[in-house]
Structure formats: structure tokens, C-alpha cells
Structure 1
Amino acid sequence: MDVKLIKQKDFSLLILGKLVSLLGSNMQQFALSLYVLELTGSATIFASILSISILPRLLLSPVAGVFGDWFDRKKTIVLLDLLNFIIIGIYAAIFSINGSITIPMIYVLVILLEITEIFFGSAMSAVIPSIVNKDDLLDANSFNSLVMNIGQLLAPLLGAIIYGSFGLKLVMIINSISFLLSAISEMFINVPKKHKKPESISIKAFKTDLKEGINIIRSNKFISTMISLGTIINFVVAPIFSVGLIFIIKEVLNATDFQFGVFQMVLSASMIAAPIFASGYIKKIKVGKLCYFSFISIALSILIMAIIPSRNILGRFNSNLIPYILLSIISFMVGVFATIANISMGTIFNQVTPIELMGRTSTVFNLAVTVFIPIGQMLFGYLYDIISPSYVIAISGLILIVAVKRYKTALTELDEEEDGIRGDVINEI
């Protein structure tokens, strides 16, 4: 990674602001996970809280994508961070008065934060490509991934300490303040005004601009292939990490809050290791080959993971320590492979998509690959309640292997397209 990026004021302030808000958000997400499981003890209810976020995403992603390209991106991200500061601050005040928050209130909080995240993500998608050169995009994305994952590494540990000592209220107060600090940091960033607002805002203008983003996705083989494969991968893999492993560690292994926090740190550590040690390889290996290797490695690791929570394995140990360590090691491997693939795909996506269309294109892309995540969370969350977690994880691994094999040819063909893509980018420069 190129250290000159760190010396750029705009890039450094952007990363700093994102890191602060990420720390607060992940601490709150960690604390809410423990809070909900303590109240209910049900993987189904826990999964439903995660899954409810798809409703605003389905309804608002197209609107957010177009608006993200229409309006000043700097003003948008600052205002949305301030809005999050207010929302979470209100919830902290309610918790202080009542001494608790109910499950329905948590549903509302998740929906509100998802709405702001949708519009924030649309505006933010073009910020890094706007403030760094195209030649530096891989390094910028790698460094962004590194710093954000350092935040994810620290957040569970801090969350476990604060939640265990002071409860959910203080976690929400800290998260609220983190968004305020992030907004202040973003106020000093110079983001080129490359948004393209129509002369007259109308439904017709909205439809025209939305179709323009969709057409880019349809016409680009790389993007359309990754949407198809990404949808299947997210359907089976996301529930493992958002529901399955949390349920196994807390309810099957009966791990402590501290052990749970350390496990989350292990996942984040894997995502830190990838950009540090693999950025050079990402530049050398063709994206199709890299993605196929990463995805098939994830699938095989998941099949191995399925053995650990089985009765035969658990019955061989007097404590949960060995199964806990084995789960942590395999999860670390999955995190490394997933991060390598994400950095590579994200960089190519930034290179092939015009900045003025980045908002609407990225939101349509993200919606397409995430729309089945809540369905998978609900389905697999229900399965975790009624059958052995080993069977559920094994099903996920088998589905993933079939999907990756199905798209192996398409991934190989991407390598033939990649040189053309990079050549076009060089010609544009």
C-alpha cells in the first residue's frame, strides 16, 4: 500500500471519520446482539431483527442511488451522520428514562439506521474514487479495508467491556457521539462536485437516470456475473456469520461475553491481515481466477466448520475451549479469502463505473446482491432452532460449492475481459 495516501488531508480525514463512526456502530451492533439474545434466547427472533432491514433497502435503494448522484455528496454524508447522532441520542435518552428498550423499539431503530445507511452509502460510494487517482484506487481500497477492519477488531472488545460493565445505555451514548465526531471530520474534506443534478427534478428525470445506472450493470459482463454469484453467496454465507456462529458460540458452546468479543476480533483480524499481506498478489492475479480460488476456499472451509458443533466432536471435550478455538481458526481463514475477493472486485467496480453514475449504479448493485440476505437469515435462523447447527452449516457449504462450480466458466472468462477493462481505463486517463 502506498503511504502517500495517508499524507493526503482529504483521504485521511475521510478514513478517520469513517473509523470513528464504525467503532460506535459496531459496538452498538455487538451490544444489541447480546441484549436481544439475553431477552429472547431465540435465533429466529435475532435473525428477524437483522432481516427487517431489507424492507427500507428494497423500497429506497433506487431513490437513494439517484439522489446520491444528484446532490452534493459532502453535504449529504455530513447531514446523515448528524441525523444518526440525533436518532441514537434519542434512544439513549429513552433507555435512561425507562431502564430498557423493547424488541419493537429495536425493530424501529434498525429500520431508521438502515434508511440513513442507504442514502449515506449512495453518497459515499463515489467519494474515494473522487479524491484519489484511478492508479491509486487499489491502494486506497486496501487501506480503507485495513483501517475499517481495525475498527471492527477493536469494537467487539470495547463493546464487551462497556456492555458488560455499564450496559446498553452507555454503548448507545458513545455511538451517538461517534457520529457527531464523524460529521465534524467530514466537514473539512474537499470532495470534488462531480454530482449531476437535472435542471428540473421530476419523476421522468428520476426514471431516466435510474435506467442509466441499470444499463451500465446490464452491459458490463463483470458486474452482471458478480451480481449472480454474489446473490447466492450472500444467501448462504451471510447467515452463518450474522446468525449461525453467534448462536453456536452463545447458545451451543455457552461462551462468555468476553469469548464472544474475542471471536469477533478474530474475524476482524483476518480482514486486517488480507490487505496487508495480499495487496501485492491482488495486483498480479487475474480477478476471475482470484475470485474462484477465494470462493471455493470459503466453501471448503465452511464444510470443515460444520463438523465442529456436532455432538460427536463436542462430546469429546470437557470444556468449550477446543471447539471455540477451532471455530475461530476456520472463521479467520474464511475472512481472509472473503476480504481478498472484496477488495479486488470493489476496485474493478470503481474503475469501470463513471463517478457521476456511481451512486445509482452502486445502490442497484448492492441491492441485487443483498436482497436475499434477509431471506437466508430468516430461513437458516429457523433451521438453527430446529435442527443441529452442523447440518445447517453443511447445507450452506454444499450450496456454495455448487454455485461456484456453476459460475467457474464465467469467472474464467472475466480474465479475458479484465485486460480490456484496464486498457480502457488507461486510455481514459
Structure 2
Amino acid sequence: MMKLNLLKDRNFALLMAGKAVSLLGSDMQQFALSLYVLAVTGSATIFASMLAISILPRLILSPIAGVFGDWFDRKRSIVTMDMVNSVLIGSYALYFYLSGELSVFSIYLLVILLEITEIFFGAAMAAVVPSIVKKEDLFEANSLKSMITSVFTMVAPLLAAVLYSLTGIFGILIINSISFMASAISEMFIEIPRFNRKPDKVNIASFRRDFMEGVGIIRKSRIIKNIIGLGMILNFCLGALFSVGLIFIIKETLGGSDMQIGIFSSVLSFSMLLTPVLFSGFARKVQIGKLMIYSFFIVSLLIMAIGLVSGDAFTLNFSGNTVPFMALLGLCFIIGIFVTLANISLGTLFDTIVPKEVMGRTSSVMGLGMTIAAPVGQIVLGASLDAMEPLFPVVIIGVIMLLAVIYYRKTFLNPEMEQEKAAV
């Protein structure tokens, strides 16, 4: 079972409270914006393009944000970014109140601006938890973060649907503006050790020097390189499977209903919520590299099993879709557990290995790689599902993951990893 001792730590509790409030507001706004855009335009393509366009600022600004995150005081940075978000969203609420609508262009602009603030917030936030939490408590800290994220990801759509029906997009914008301000106020009272290292002169030369220093640290550390490499491959596979593949299989291959898609999403979210609560105690007893590799190894085999139960050789044995759907649901529930364990392990390993002084730059590089990998995987899997039955592309995803785990396993299972952790 999960221990909640960390919540007695004032700094960590304030940080998690701020994260919970802002996460709830953001998820509610994203859900409500999708309803608003569909109601106004009737086009799912427009909303999909809004999500896609948010990738552009991340591709352009991630290297800059990473350096800035290491340069400037992290507490001041995260408080400032949350306040900027509060003012920005509040301004949109005022704009909607005065004009009675949000244009498609204005929503595009809002999505881009919020993505920009998120990039700089994330770069500054990367080293906050490792700075305020002891090394031996990092796994528990990441478990609590995962649990909070899962809880509010589940709750937000329901609350958003109710509030949107009562107040429309105006009420959602007001609530999200308040949530970010509340988060900023919470963060003001956090004591964060200063590991930032701002140069005497902020110019292109100092930016280039510090950026290349971060790249150099990544190159020298075999573990950091492998964390980023494995993370990209996993995002390529799992991002595509969860966002495109499984929904397509349930809806098109199994002829599933909207209710079944809702059940699937709830079960998957519940497994991710349940994992830190039930298994964090066991997981802390396992060497973190082993936990991560073995978890992803099991996930790759389970993905192959999903391919088998979604293939014609299995589904055509049943008159309805109940048995194939239940088999898929059971596999996904187990996958959710092991993916959550592996992600917590990966995050904890990253927090342990990477020097706090360059964590902004390193996390930005990893985030950039994953940002690129996810849409590529979605496109490849989407095209494959259109061209052949799901059995083959899904099994191939499982094989790719399995090969990646086998390739990277030596680094994470090697006892020398612990020596590198201690040296960093």
C-alpha cells in the first residue's frame, strides 16, 4: 500500500495541492473547448488540428525553455507562469463575455499561448520535486503525482460536462483562471532550494554555451541517453496504441458502442489510479531499473496478446463482441498497471540521475523527443489499421517494444547504474 507520509511535508503538500487544482481546471477547459468547437463548427477536424498545432511551439521553444528553466529561479518561474495563465484565461473569459463568442482563430491562439507557458513551466518544474524531496522518497513522490493526475483526469470530464451545461464556456474559463491563480498562490509558500545558475550576461553566446553543456551531459551519461531513447520508442508505441489503436479496434473492429468506449476509458484510468495505491510498497523494494524493464517487458507481451484477441481468428468465433471486448478490457487493465509502474520508475530514475542544475535542459530534450515520437507513431499506426486487420500492426508494436526493452535492458539492469547514480 502507498504511504502518505510525504503529504505531511509542507512543501510537497502545497506543490501537489497547486498541481491538483490547476490540473483539474486545465482538463475541464480542454474538454469544454472540444464541446464548444464541435457545437460552433460541427467539425472534429478543426479541433484535432488545434491539438496538432500545439506541437509547433514545443518543437521551436523546448531548447530555449530548457536553458531558461536552469537559469532563472524556479519558484519565481512557476509562480509567474501560473499567474500568466490565470490572466490569459481570465482575459478570454472577459472577451467571451463582451463578444458573446470565441472565434476559431482566437481558440487557436489560446491553445498556442497556453502551450508556450506550459513549455516554460515544465522546464522550471522539472527539478522542483527532486529539490524538495529526499532521494529515498522520490518513488513515493512520483507515485503520488501519478495518483493525483489519474484522479483528476477521471473527474474533470464529468465536472466539465455538468458545468458546461450550466454555465457554458464562460463559466469554465472563469473556473480555470481561478484555478491557476490558486495554484500560483499555493506555490508562493513553497521553499525551493536554489540550483539555478544564471550567467552574468544573458545573450546568445551564453545561451549556446549552456545549451551545449546540457547536451554534453546527456552524451556522457549512458543512462540519460538510454532513458531518452527508450522513452521515445515507448511514446511512439504506447502513445499511438492508446490514442488511436485501441479506440479504433473497439469502435471499428469490434463494432463497439460509445458506452463501451466510455467503459474502456474508465477502466484504463482506474487501473492507473489503483496502481500507486496498491503496488507502491512492493515496487519500492525492487531495484528501480529492474522494475522498469520487467514492467515494459510484460507490457510488450500483453500488447501482442491484444493483437491476437482483436484479429479475425479470435473475434469471428463469437456472435457478438462481448467476449472479445471483455478480453481486451482485461488485458488493458493489466497493461495500465504495468505501464503506470514503469512510468513512475522511469520518472524516478530520471529525477535521481540527472543533476538538478541541468534538469530543465535535459527534461526539455526528452520532452521534445517524445513530442516528435508520438504523432509519428499515431500516423504510422493509423495508416496501418486502414490497410490491414489490427492483428498485424498491434503485434508489430508489441515486437518493437520488446526489441527496445531487450536492447536497453543491460544499461538498466547493470549494477554499474547505481554507481553512476551515486557519482552524479
**TM-score, normalized by length of structure 1?**
0.85
Measured at CA, do residues 376 and 50 of structure 1 come closer, stay the same or move farther in structure 2, by a change above 3 Å? Answer: farther
Check whether the contact 1:289–1:415 (CA below 8 A) recurs between aligned residues: yes
Query: Partner of 2:7 in structure 1?
Result: 6
**Aligned AA (1:418):** M
Paired with 2:19 and 2:381, the residues of 1 have a C-alpha distance of 31
**Aligned AA (1:404):** L
Query: Partner of 2:90 in structure 1?
Result: 89
Compare 323-332 and 74-83 and name the one that shifted more.
323-332
How much is the aligned-residue C-alpha RMSD, in angstroms?
3.2
In the TM superposition, what are the counterparts of 1:267-286 in structure 2 within 5 Å?
Answer: 267-286=268-287
**Aligned AA (1:354):** P
Measured at CA, do residues 394 and 270 of structure 1 come closer, stay the same or move farther in structure 2, by a change above 3 Å? Answer: farther
Paired with 1:289 and 1:37, the residues of 2 have a C-alpha distance of 45
Measured at CA, do residues 133 and 238 of structure 1 come closer, stay the same or move farther in structure 2, by a change above 3 Å? Answer: same
* Offset at residue 197 of structure 1 (A): 0.7
* Offset at residue 35 of structure 1 (A): 4.9
The percent of aligned pairs where both chains have the same amino acid is: 46
Check whether the contact 2:226–2:411 (CA below 8 A) recurs between aligned residues: no
**Aligned AA (1:351):** T
Query: Partner of 1:395 in structure 2?
Result: 393
Check whether the contact 1:157–1:262 (CA below 8 A) recurs between aligned residues: no
Q: What secondary structure, in the 3-state scheme, does the structure 1 residue paired with 2:224 have?
A: helix
Query: Partner of 1:68 in structure 2?
Result: 69
Measured at CA, do residues 403 and 315 of structure 1 come closer, stay the same or move farther in structure 2, by a change above 3 Å? Answer: closer
Q: Is residue 2:378 matched to residue 1:377?
A: yes
Query: Partner of 1:408 in structure 2?
Result: 406
Compare 216-225 and 64-73 and name the one that shifted more.
216-225
Instruction: Give the length in aligned residue pairs.
Output: 418
Query: Partner of 1:253 in structure 2?
Result: 256
Query: Partner of 2:149 in structure 1?
Result: 148
* Offset at residue 421 of structure 1 (A): 3.2
Query: Partner of 2:351 in structure 1?
Result: 350
Q: What whole-Å deviation, never above 9, does each CA across 1:214-265 have from its counterpart, x for those lacking one? A: 1121111122122222212212321333344556667863415xx7666444
Measured at CA, do residues 398 and 103 of structure 1 come closer, stay the same or move farther in structure 2, by a change above 3 Å? Answer: farther
Q: What whole-Å deviation, never above 9, does each CA across 1:371-429 have from its counterpart, x for those lacking one? A: 22233334545666x557x62x851441342343244143133211333234447xxxx
Check whether the contact 1:292–1:411 (CA below 8 A) recurs between aligned residues: yes
In the TM superposition, what are the counterparts of 1:15-414 in structure 2 within 5 Å?
Answer: 15-35=16-36, 39-40=41-42, 42=44, 47-96=48-97, 100-163=101-164, 166-245=167-246, 253-255=256-258, 263-306=264-307, 313=315, 327-381=328-382, 386=386, 391=390, 394-414=392-412
Measured at CA, do residues 24 and 65 of structure 1 come closer, stay the same or move farther in structure 2, by a change above 3 Å? Answer: same
Q: What secondary structure, in the 3-state scheme, does the structure 2 residue paired with 1:282 have?
A: helix
Q: What secondary structure, in the 3-state scheme, does the structure 1 residue paired with 2:8 have?
A: coil
Paired with 2:213 and 2:234, the residues of 1 have a C-alpha distance of 27
Check whether the contact 1:16–1:185 (CA below 8 A) recurs between aligned residues: yes
**Aligned AA (1:270):** S
Paired with 1:229 and 1:206, the residues of 2 have a C-alpha distance of 28
Q: What secondary structure, in the 3-state scheme, does the structure 2 residue paired with 1:191 have?
A: coil
Paired with 1:400 and 1:40, the residues of 2 have a C-alpha distance of 36
**Aligned AA (2:256):** L
Compare 263-272 and 92-101 and name the one that shifted more.
92-101
Query: Partner of 2:419 in structure 1?
Result: 420
Paired with 1:166 and 1:316, the residues of 2 have a C-alpha distance of 46
Paired with 2:120 and 2:27, the residues of 1 have a C-alpha distance of 19
Check whether the contact 2:300–2:401 (CA below 8 A) recurs between aligned residues: no
Q: What secondary structure, in the 3-state scheme, does the structure 1 residue paired with 2:86 have?
A: helix
Measured at CA, do residues 323 and 187 of structure 1 come closer, stay the same or move farther in structure 2, by a change above 3 Å? Answer: farther
**Aligned AA (2:411):** E
Check whether the contact 1:287–1:344 (CA below 8 A) recurs between aligned residues: yes
Paired with 2:328 and 2:169, the residues of 1 have a C-alpha distance of 27
Paired with 1:167 and 1:314, the residues of 2 have a C-alpha distance of 45
Measured at CA, do residues 406 and 144 of structure 1 come closer, stay the same or move farther in structure 2, by a change above 3 Å? Answer: closer
* Offset at residue 280 of structure 1 (A): 3.1
Paired with 1:253 and 1:354, the residues of 2 have a C-alpha distance of 48
* Offset at residue 10 of structure 1 (A): 1.0
**Aligned AA (1:201):** V
Paired with 1:9 and 1:305, the residues of 2 have a C-alpha distance of 44
Check whether the contact 1:47–1:378 (CA below 8 A) recurs between aligned residues: no
Q: What secondary structure, in the 3-state scheme, does the structure 1 residue paired with 2:189 have?
A: coil
* Residue ranges of structure 2 left out of the alignment (5+ in a row): none
